[in-house]
Amino acid sequence: MKAVFDTKPSSVYDDEITERYHFPRRYAAIVAASAGDWVVLRRPRADGGNLAYFAVARVIAVEPDLGNAALSYARLAEFLPFDVPVPWTTNGRYAESALRQLPRAQVGVFLRGRSVRPLDDEDFVAIVSAGLRDTTDPANARRYGLDPANFDIAAFQANVPLGERVWRIEAALTNRIVRDASFRRTVCRAYEDRCAVSRLKIINGGGRSEVQAAHIWSVADGGPDVVQNGIALSATIHWLFDRHLISLTDDYRLLVAHNRVPSELQSLFGEQSKAIHLPTDRGTWPHPSFLARHREKFSGA
């Protein structure tokens, strides 16, 4: 069963939303029913939230909180943030069928104590399609590296029967081609298509940026597809970064394995004593925990 999980940064629960969702006993039946299925994550108005759905993830397990018998964890995988938040209401129409069935004045009352609730397949398809509209737009295929030959665009077209759309979208959400395109879109936009190390911005004749989106904590080792786990790098610097021949300090200065990186390549790095180029939005900067994981391998390289 698909569901909506509400969460906020100041939650009293032990949420780490790319990995786990912490919840009280009253939601146990719904969360248990969602195990193995997909959930949409929504930010409530608290904490300056915009009452919008912001990501999708799959529940892979439900486990007790060993420190508190009244609480449990939903373990999450394949977390994927949306291109843009999807409003919970558009032109007066709520995104969830359960809310559409209520008089508007009763919606707020209904949601109290319902931070976890079932989600219809039709609403799931509509929310995810809206959330990934930019990434999956065929017009952006070249820019984001989404190869139409390997991407099921029919999953995001409304003329496909609902049951077929559901399983096609579920397949798309696990497709590395789609996930890499979404990740590239988010990271390259954050860095304004500029390499964080060389500070060069190169746009080719087809309008595509030559900068690449590098994972800091690799996907193969469990790293998430979130902008804080990404950095925009040119191809050669990306190669060095993935092989842990360069890394970053917590204050975003470059670390270089000088004895292993040819001097002619080190000329790409600029002034290593200065912090790398970072996005304008501090909330998209590389997270220290991801940098620490990368440095562990750099130290052992």
Kindly give the confidence (pLDDT) of every residue in the chain, 301 residues in length, as a single tens digit, with 9 standing for 90 and above: 999 999 988 889 999 999 999 999 999 999 999 999 999 999 976 445 568 999 999 999 999 999 999 999 999 999 999 999 999 999 989 999 999 999 988 998 999 899 999 999 999 999 999 999 998 888 887 778 777 666 666 666 667 788 888 988 999 899 898 899 999 999 999 999 999 999 988 777 666 778 999 999 999 999 999 999 999 999 999 999 999 999 999 999 999 987 888 877 777 776 666 899 999 999 999 999 999 999 998 865 5
Contact 276, 197 (CB under 8 A): yes
Does the domain at 3-119 match CATH 3.40.50? Answer given as no
Q: How far apart are CA 224 and CA 73, in angstroms?
A: 18
What pLDDT score does 181 carry? 92
How far is the CA of 85 from the CAs of 6, 40, 88, 127, in angstroms?
A: 14, 11, 9, 10
Determine the 3-state secondary structure of 83 from DSSP: strand
Phi, psi angles (nearest 5°) of residue 190: -60, -40
What pLDDT score does 240 carry? 93
Phi, psi angles (nearest 5°) of residue 85: -60, 140
- Degrees to nearest 5, angle at CA 244 with 276 and 182: 65
Every domain of the chain and the residues it spans: 3-119, 132-185, 191-300
* Of 173, 191, 281, the residue nearest 237 (C-alpha): 191
Contact 209, 203 (CB under 8 A): yes
C-alpha R_g of the chain: 21
pTM for the model stands at 0.89
Helices 162-173 and 121-131 pack at an angle, to 10 degrees, of: 50
